[in-house]
Amino acid sequence: MTYENTDKKTLASQLKSLWSEYERIKSKGYKLDLTRGKPCPEQLELSNCVLTALSGDNCISKDGVDCRNYGVLDGLPEVKELFSELLDIPAENIIVGGNSSLNLMYDTIVRAMLFGVSGRELPWSRVEGGVKFLCPTPGYDRHFAICETLGIKMIPVAMKDDGPDMDTVEDLVSSDESIKGIWCVPKHSNPTGITYSDDVVRRFAALRPKAKDFCIFWDNAYAVHDLYSDGDKLLSIFDEAAKIGPESENMIYYFASTSKITFPGAGVAIIAASKENIADIKRIVAVQTIGYDKLNQLRHVRCFPNAAAVRRQMELHAKILRPKFEIVKNILSRELDGTGAAVWSNPKGGYFVSLDVMSGCATRVYELCRDAGVRLTDVGATFPYSHDPLDKNLRIAPTYLSNDDLTTAIYILTTCIKIAAIEKCLKA
């Protein structure tokens, strides 16, 4: 029987027991962190080959470039070929950057603010009344932070089971010229774990925006981050765009990296786009840098020379991560099934679990967890301007903690969820 259908006398008795358990938990002095999707130490050990892949006498790339020197603005060809094979993107449509795809996203928007998008329209900073982005929610807080920092107005769009609400997306972009882009994490979306359906990908490729400089920011951060062998499949947006024509291809800015394949702080990131957009990016970036870190690019391709090697690496990651996600799922089910206190995602990959508690209870759960020694991502972080209008969504990052600590943290979380839910029902 759910809490909402339980008599208040029974609820009050249950709450008393929960408070007793909560005080016992607090006395333990826990310091457990569920805030960010970081690989655990065991995962980092998988990539130590990157640290020893080069020495002074083997820093020459496949085509004879000395990677210790200047040059090769858009990245080593063999690294482009690796990402091309892995992500099914033509190598000539790829620029290899530094370690951070987020940095490449930020730079792409700043270029649009300063110079416009491939010269098709005014620089966004000169658009009267400002520009807007569509933001599928719940979504990635760092995407939203870029927009907020640069003064781009954000419009929330609901996430459905197969991706963003495309009826809303199509209506908005076709009618409002100030809408210049949309954020997308198309596979194992952050934080819901949703992978966009084939129909959603096709509808993105077929968008007919009123703004000629509309951009789809396709942040495929979890492209190969499956937990199970029957992982989700994502249709190629470039293939679908190519069927429609250059206008569709020019909308797409595709980002990916090795951040959770090798070392998050020392990986390799890419941006992929149409040939027209790649030429425009290179023209502007050539003023910013003579070239990104080719030694790091070479280290990675020496360790992982082809897509098969990357996929073997990801199987090792999955072997470590699967038990962690199973811990979360099993404890949430054991403690909360039948209570009506929360619902949660069961992702097949990625790094997060999206948890919806009763409306109006997320802040209370956050505070209870904090005081009991469990840190959660800030309430509202998964929404534009850090405002969850229903105060119900929490993003859980289970990857970093040891399995024992994770078990403790999720149990504490469920205890706090139950307290907050019963408190709300008693006030009703």
- What dihedral angle (degrees, nearest 10) is formed by the CA atoms of 54, 56, 62, 63? 150
Res 57: pLDDT? 81
Strand ranges across the sheet with 342-344: 342-344, 353-357, 393-396
| Token pair recorded at residue 267 | 């990986």
Q: Contact, 220 vs 187, CB < 8 A? A: yes
pLDDT per residue of the chain (428 residues) written in tens, 0 to 9 = 899 999 999 999 999 999 999 999 999 999 999 999 999 999 999 999 999 999 878 999 999 999 999 999 999 999 999 999 999 999 999 999 999 999 999 999 999 999 999 877 899 999 999 999 999 999 999 999 999 999 999 999 999 999 999 999 999 999 999 999 999 999 999 999 999 999 999 999 999 999 999 999 999 999 999 999 988 999 999 999 999 999 999 999 999 999 999 999 999 999 999 999 999 999 999 999 999 999 999 999 999 999 999 999 999 999 999 999 999 999 999 999 999 999 999 999 999 999 999 999 999 999 999 999 999 999 999 999 999 999 999 999 999 999 999 999 999 999 999 999 999 999 98
Alpha-carbon distance of 385 to 147, in angstroms, equals 9
Tokens of 215: 């951009």
Please tell me the predicted confidence (pLDDT) of residue 251: 97
Residue boundaries of the structural domains of the chain: 3-43+312-427, 61-305
CB 294 within 8 A of CB 76: yes
DSSP 125: G
Vertex 243 angle, CA 242 and 248, to 5° = 55
The per-residue DSSP string of 274-295 comes to -HHHHHHHHHHHHHH-S---HH
Distance between CA atoms of residues 20 and 219, nearest Å: 45
pTM of the predicted model, to two decimals?
0.96
Q: Coil, strand, or helix at residue 424?
A: helix
Q: Give me the pLDDT at residue 320, please.
A: 98
Assigned CATH class of 61-305 = alpha beta
Instruction: For residue 290, give the nearest of 63, 60, 70 by alpha carbon.
Output: 70
Q: Residue 125 has which token pair?
A: 């900073």
Amino acid residing at 148? E
Common-topology check for domains 3-43+312-427 and 61-305: no
pLDDT at 261: 98
- The residues with which 87 forms a beta bridge, in sequence order, are none
The answer to whether 131 touches 123, Cβ cutoff 8 Å, is: no
C-alpha to C-alpha distance for 362 and 111, rounded to whole angstroms: 37
Matching CATH number, 3-43+312-427, of 3.40.50.180, 3.40.50.720, 3.40.50.620, 3.90.1150.10: 3.90.1150.10
The partner residues of 133 in beta bridges, in order of sequence, read 154, 181
Q: What is the pLDDT of residue 428?
A: 84
The crossing angle, in degrees rounded to 10, of helices 101-115 and 141-149 is 30
Q: Round the CA-based radius of gyration of the chain to a whole number and report it.
A: 23
Instruction: Tokens for 288, please give them.
Output: 């910013």
Secondary structure tally for the chain: helices H, strands E: 15, 13
d(CA 159, CA 54): 44
Which runs of E-coded beta strand occur in 123-162?
A: 132-137, 153-160
